[in-house]
Protein backbone atom coordinates (compact mmCIF):
# COMPACT_ATOMS: atom_id res chain seq x y z
CA UNK A 1 0.00 0.00 0.00
CA UNK A 2 2.80 2.33 0.67
CA UNK A 3 3.94 1.91 -2.89
CA UNK A 4 0.49 2.78 -4.25
CA UNK A 5 0.27 5.90 -2.04
CA UNK A 6 3.66 7.01 -3.24
CA UNK A 7 2.66 6.54 -6.90
CA UNK A 8 -0.62 8.45 -6.31
CA UNK A 9 1.25 11.25 -4.51
CA UNK A 10 3.75 11.59 -7.32
CA UNK A 11 0.90 11.67 -9.85
CA UNK A 12 -0.89 14.34 -7.76
CA UNK A 13 2.23 16.47 -7.57
CA UNK A 14 2.63 16.32 -11.34
CA UNK A 15 -1.06 17.10 -11.89
CA UNK A 16 -1.02 20.24 -9.72
CA UNK A 17 1.47 22.19 -11.86
CA UNK A 18 -0.48 21.27 -14.98
CA UNK A 19 -3.63 22.59 -13.31
CA UNK A 20 -1.93 25.90 -12.40
CA UNK A 21 -0.35 26.23 -15.84
CA UNK A 22 -3.63 25.93 -17.73
CA UNK A 23 -5.17 29.29 -16.57
CA UNK A 24 -1.87 31.09 -17.20
CA UNK A 25 -1.73 29.77 -20.77
CA UNK A 26 -5.35 30.80 -21.35
CA UNK A 27 -4.71 34.33 -20.05
CA UNK A 28 -1.58 34.69 -22.21
CA UNK A 29 -3.46 33.45 -25.29
CA UNK A 30 -6.33 35.86 -24.58
CA UNK A 31 -3.86 38.77 -24.27
CA UNK A 32 -2.11 37.79 -27.50
CA UNK A 33 -5.46 37.57 -29.30
CA UNK A 34 -6.50 40.99 -27.98
CA UNK A 35 -3.15 42.47 -29.03
CA UNK A 36 -3.40 40.95 -32.51
CA UNK A 37 -6.94 42.28 -32.94
CA UNK A 38 -5.97 45.79 -31.84
CA UNK A 39 -2.95 45.88 -34.16
CA UNK A 40 -5.01 44.55 -37.05
CA UNK A 41 -7.82 47.02 -36.44
CA UNK A 42 -5.42 49.94 -36.13
CA UNK A 43 -3.66 48.97 -39.35
CA UNK A 44 -6.97 48.59 -41.18
CA UNK A 45 -8.36 51.96 -40.11
CA UNK A 46 -5.11 53.85 -40.62
CA UNK A 47 -4.44 52.40 -44.06
CA UNK A 48 -7.92 53.25 -45.37
CA UNK A 49 -7.87 56.69 -43.72
CA UNK A 50 -4.42 57.62 -45.07
CA UNK A 51 -5.46 56.69 -48.61
CA UNK A 52 -8.44 59.03 -48.38
CA UNK A 53 -6.36 61.79 -46.80
CA UNK A 54 -3.57 61.46 -49.38
CA UNK A 55 -5.94 61.82 -52.31
CA UNK A 56 -7.78 64.67 -50.60
CA UNK A 57 -4.52 66.48 -49.86
CA UNK A 58 -3.32 66.16 -53.45
CA UNK A 59 -6.60 67.52 -54.77
CA UNK A 60 -6.44 70.58 -52.51
CA UNK A 61 -2.84 71.29 -53.51
CA UNK A 62 -3.74 71.03 -57.18
CA UNK A 63 -6.76 73.29 -56.73
CA UNK A 64 -4.96 75.95 -54.68
CA UNK A 65 -1.94 76.33 -57.00
CA UNK A 66 -3.09 75.49 -60.53
CA UNK A 67 -0.61 77.73 -62.40
CA UNK A 68 2.52 77.28 -60.30
CA UNK A 69 5.24 75.67 -62.34
CA UNK A 70 8.28 73.80 -61.03
CA UNK A 71 11.40 75.78 -60.29
CA UNK A 72 14.10 76.14 -62.94
CA UNK A 73 17.66 76.87 -61.85
CA UNK A 74 20.31 78.61 -63.91
CA UNK A 75 23.85 78.58 -62.53
CA UNK A 76 26.01 81.58 -63.33
CA UNK A 77 29.47 80.30 -64.17
CA UNK A 78 32.19 81.12 -63.37
CA UNK A 79 31.82 82.01 -59.72
CA UNK A 80 32.14 85.66 -58.72
CA UNK A 81 35.43 86.59 -57.04
CA UNK A 82 35.91 90.04 -55.50
CA UNK A 83 38.63 91.46 -53.30
CA UNK A 84 38.52 93.72 -50.27
CA UNK A 85 41.10 95.68 -48.35
CA UNK A 86 40.20 94.92 -44.73
CA UNK A 87 42.42 96.39 -42.00
CA UNK A 88 45.36 96.70 -44.38
CA UNK A 89 45.18 93.09 -45.56
CA UNK A 90 43.80 91.83 -48.84
CA UNK A 91 40.65 89.72 -48.41
CA UNK A 92 38.68 87.78 -50.99
CA UNK A 93 35.11 86.64 -51.43
CA UNK A 94 34.00 83.92 -53.80
CA UNK A 95 30.28 83.49 -54.50
CA UNK A 96 28.65 80.89 -56.71
CA UNK A 97 25.23 82.11 -57.79
CA UNK A 98 22.16 80.32 -59.12
CA UNK A 99 19.01 82.00 -60.39
CA UNK A 100 15.64 80.44 -59.58
CA UNK A 101 12.84 81.05 -62.05
CA UNK A 102 9.53 79.46 -62.97
CA UNK A 103 9.30 80.46 -66.64
CA UNK A 104 11.93 79.13 -69.04
CA UNK A 105 11.09 81.66 -71.76
CA UNK A 106 11.57 84.61 -69.38
CA UNK A 107 14.85 83.13 -68.16
CA UNK A 108 16.05 82.70 -71.74
CA UNK A 109 15.15 86.33 -72.45
CA UNK A 110 17.23 87.38 -69.45
CA UNK A 111 20.23 85.31 -70.62
CA UNK A 112 20.67 87.77 -73.48
CA UNK A 113 21.48 90.41 -70.86
CA UNK A 114 23.90 88.23 -68.88
CA UNK A 115 26.90 90.62 -69.20
CA UNK A 116 24.86 93.45 -67.64
CA UNK A 117 23.57 91.12 -64.94
CA UNK A 118 27.06 89.88 -64.06
CA UNK A 119 28.35 93.49 -63.98
CA UNK A 120 25.60 94.53 -61.56
CA UNK A 121 26.34 91.61 -59.26
CA UNK A 122 30.12 92.23 -59.31
CA UNK A 123 29.57 95.88 -58.42
CA UNK A 124 27.18 94.88 -55.63
CA UNK A 125 29.54 92.27 -54.20
CA UNK A 126 32.65 94.48 -54.33
CA UNK A 127 30.90 97.34 -52.53
CA UNK A 128 30.11 95.29 -49.41
CA UNK A 129 31.64 95.60 -45.95
CA UNK A 130 33.84 92.59 -45.21
CA UNK A 131 32.96 92.58 -41.52
CA UNK A 132 29.21 92.53 -42.21
CA UNK A 133 29.63 89.55 -44.54
CA UNK A 134 31.19 87.55 -41.71
CA UNK A 135 27.74 87.00 -40.19
CA UNK A 136 24.87 84.87 -41.57
CA UNK A 137 22.57 87.90 -41.39
CA UNK A 138 24.98 89.90 -43.56
CA UNK A 139 25.08 87.13 -46.15
CA UNK A 140 21.27 86.94 -46.22
CA UNK A 141 21.01 90.72 -46.67
CA UNK A 142 23.48 90.49 -49.56
CA UNK A 143 21.45 87.68 -51.15
CA UNK A 144 18.27 89.77 -50.90
CA UNK A 145 20.06 92.77 -52.43
CA UNK A 146 21.29 90.57 -55.27
CA UNK A 147 17.75 89.30 -55.84
CA UNK A 148 16.45 92.88 -55.97
CA UNK A 149 19.16 93.92 -58.47
CA UNK A 150 18.48 90.95 -60.77
CA UNK A 151 14.72 91.47 -60.62
CA UNK A 152 15.19 95.18 -61.35
CA UNK A 153 17.27 94.35 -64.43
CA UNK A 154 14.80 91.71 -65.59
CA UNK A 155 11.89 94.13 -65.22
CA UNK A 156 13.74 96.84 -67.12
CA UNK A 157 15.02 94.67 -69.98
CA UNK A 158 12.34 91.99 -70.44
CA UNK A 159 9.29 93.64 -68.91
CA UNK A 160 8.68 90.88 -66.37
CA UNK A 161 10.19 89.45 -63.20
CA UNK A 162 12.04 86.52 -64.73
CA UNK A 163 13.89 85.55 -61.55
CA UNK A 164 12.14 84.64 -58.33
CA UNK A 165 15.26 84.34 -56.17
CA UNK A 166 19.02 84.59 -56.34
CA UNK A 167 20.61 81.72 -54.41
CA UNK A 168 24.17 81.43 -53.18
CA UNK A 169 25.32 77.87 -53.78
CA UNK A 170 28.82 78.57 -52.46
CA UNK A 171 30.02 81.47 -50.33
CA UNK A 172 33.66 81.73 -49.24
CA UNK A 173 35.37 84.58 -47.39
CA UNK A 174 39.12 84.54 -46.97
Q: With cut-offs at 50, 70 and 90, classify the pLDDT of residue 62.
A: very low
Q: Is 145:174 a contact under the CB 8 Å cutoff?
A: no
H/E run at residue 58: helix 2-64
For residues 148 and 94, membership in a common domain is answered with yes
For residues 27 and 58, membership in a common domain is answered with yes
Mean pLDDT of the chain: 80
Number of folded domains in the chain?
2
Provide the 3-class DSSP secondary structure of residue 165: strand
More confidently predicted of 161 and 17: 161
Kindly report, residue by residue over 81-137, the tens digit of the pLDDT.
Answer: 998 888 888 889 999 999 999 988 888 888 889 999 999 999 999 888 888 888 899
For residues 80 and 53, membership in a common domain is answered with no
What distance in Å separates the CA atoms of residue 90 and residue 84, rounded to the nearest whole number? Answer: 6
For residues 92 and 55, membership in a common domain is answered with no
pLDDT of 144 strictly over 90: yes
Kindly report, residue by residue over 150-160, the tens digit of the pLDDT.
Answer: 999 988 888 88
* pLDDT confidence of residue 61: 46
* pLDDT confidence of residue 39: 80
Residues 6+ apart with CB under 8 A from 133: 93, 139, 142, 173
Cβ neighbour number for residue 86 with a 10 Å cutoff: 14
Kindly report, residue by residue over 19-39, the tens digit of the pLDDT.
Answer: 788 888 888 888 888 878 888
pLDDT of 65 strictly over 60: no
Average pLDDT (60-80) is: 74
* Enclosing domain of residue 62: 1-66
Q: Quick one: how far is CA 167 from the chain centroid?
A: 17
For residues 55 and 80, membership in a common domain is answered with no
Bridge partners (DSSP) of residue 96 are: 170
Amino acid sequence: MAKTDESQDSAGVEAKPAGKLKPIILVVLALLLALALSVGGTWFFLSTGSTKQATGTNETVERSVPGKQPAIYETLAPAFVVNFDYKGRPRYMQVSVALMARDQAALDALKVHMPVLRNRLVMLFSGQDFEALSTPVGVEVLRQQATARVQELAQKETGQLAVEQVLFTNFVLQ
